[in-house]
């Protein structure tokens, strides 16, 4: 006895009956869905927590992630080396040319309008 066809096989069979303009429209839609998913995955990968930082809170505006973090400066003898981290401070993270770029924002996070172009 044969197993039932996979959902993809059924979908392919159905798509064959679409007109060419509808197939092109479907292709554009699929490409936009793939692009969105790839961007989401890239953002998740790029913004992994860094060593010596403790994330307090995080928010996303467009393609930029804003994080409030406590940080370890790394200076020998500093209180942070014993566990008392500095901050919290806000940083922005975004991807430019395949690289993650971070930027110090400060003690307070500005309004969305003031943040445009921060990363």
Residue-wise pLDDT tens digits, 55-68: 899 888 888 889 99
pTM: 0.56
Could you tell me the CA-to-CA distances from 87 to 4, 19, 67, 92, 109 in Å, in that order?
58, 59, 12, 15, 13
| Mean pLDDT computed over 8-37 | 91
Compute the radius of gyration of the chain from its Cα atoms: 23
Question: Which of 22-36, 47-61, 64-78 has the least mean pLDDT?
Answer: 47-61
Position 70 scores a pLDDT of: 93
- Residue linked to tokens 């172009």: 117
């Amino acid at each position: 006895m044969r197993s039932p066809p996979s959902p993809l096989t059924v979908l392919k069979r159905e798509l064959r009956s679409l007109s060419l303009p509808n197939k092109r429209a479907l292709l554009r839609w699929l490409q936009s869905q793939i692009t969105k998913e790839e961007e989401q995955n890239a953002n998740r990968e790029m913004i992994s927590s860094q060593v010596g930082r403790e994330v307090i809170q995080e928010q996303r505006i467009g393609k930029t992630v804003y994080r409030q973090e406590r940080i370890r400066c790394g200076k020998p003898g500093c209180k942070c080396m014993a566990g008392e981290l500095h901050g919290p401070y806000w940083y922005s993270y975004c991807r430019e040319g395949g690289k993650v770029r971070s930027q110090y924002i400060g003690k307070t996070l500005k309004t969305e309008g003031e943040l445009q172009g921060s990363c």
